[in-house]
Amino acid sequence: MLNNAVLITGAGQRIGYYLAEHFLNHTDYPVIFSYRTERPGVQTLKKSGALGIQADFNQPGAVDDFIRQVKSQVNSLRAIIHNASVWLDDAAAQSFEQQMQLHVNLPYQLNKGLVELLYASESADIISISDAKVARGSAHQVAYLASKAALQSMARSFALAYAPKIKVNDIAPALIMFNEGDDLNYRQQRLSENLMQIEPGPDVIWQTVKYIMTNNYLTGQVINLDGGRSVIN
Ligand SMILES: NC(=O)c1ccc[n+]([C@@H]2O[C@H](COP(=O)([O-])OP(=O)(O)OC[C@H]3O[C@@H](n4cnc5c(N)ncnc54)[C@H](OP(=O)(O)O)[C@@H]3O)[C@@H](O)[C@H]2O)c1
131 CA from centroid of ligand 1 (Å) = 12
Q: Which residues line ligand 1 (CB under 6 A)?
A: 10, 12-16, 35-37, 39, 55-58, 83-86, 102, 129, 131, 173, 175-177
19 CA from centroid of ligand 1 (Å) = 12
**pLDDT, tens digit, 9 for 90 and up, residues 99-155:** 999 999 999 999 999 999 999 999 999 999 999 999 999 999 999 999 999 999 999
Angle formed by the axes of helices 106-113 and 62-73, nearest 10°? 30
Q: Which domain holds residue 93?
A: 5-231
Atom of ligand 1 nearest to the CA of 205: 10
All residues at 6 or more sequence positions from 36 whose CB lies less than 8 Å from its CB, including other chains? 10, 12, 54, 55, 56, 57, 84
83 CA from centroid of ligand 1 (Å) = 6
86 CA from centroid of ligand 1 (Å) = 6
**What pLDDT does 233 receive?**
74
CATH at 130: 3.40.50.720
108 is catalytic: no
Amino acid at 110: L
Rounded CA separation 33/223 (Å): 23
Burial class (CB in 10 A: 0-12, 13-18, 19+), 153: middle
Rounded CA separation 216/76 (Å): 19
Ligand 1 pocket test, candidate residues 83, 85, 180, most atoms within 8 A of CB = 85
CB contact at 8 A, 202 and 225: no
Q: How far apart are the first and last CA of the chain?
A: 51
Which stretches in the chain have pLDDT values below 50? none
Q: Per the residue annotation, which of 29, 144, 162, 211 is the catalytic one?
A: 144
CB contact at 8 A, 222 and 152: yes
**What pLDDT does 49 receive?**
97
Atom of ligand 1 nearest to the CA of 11: 43
State how many domains the chain has.
1
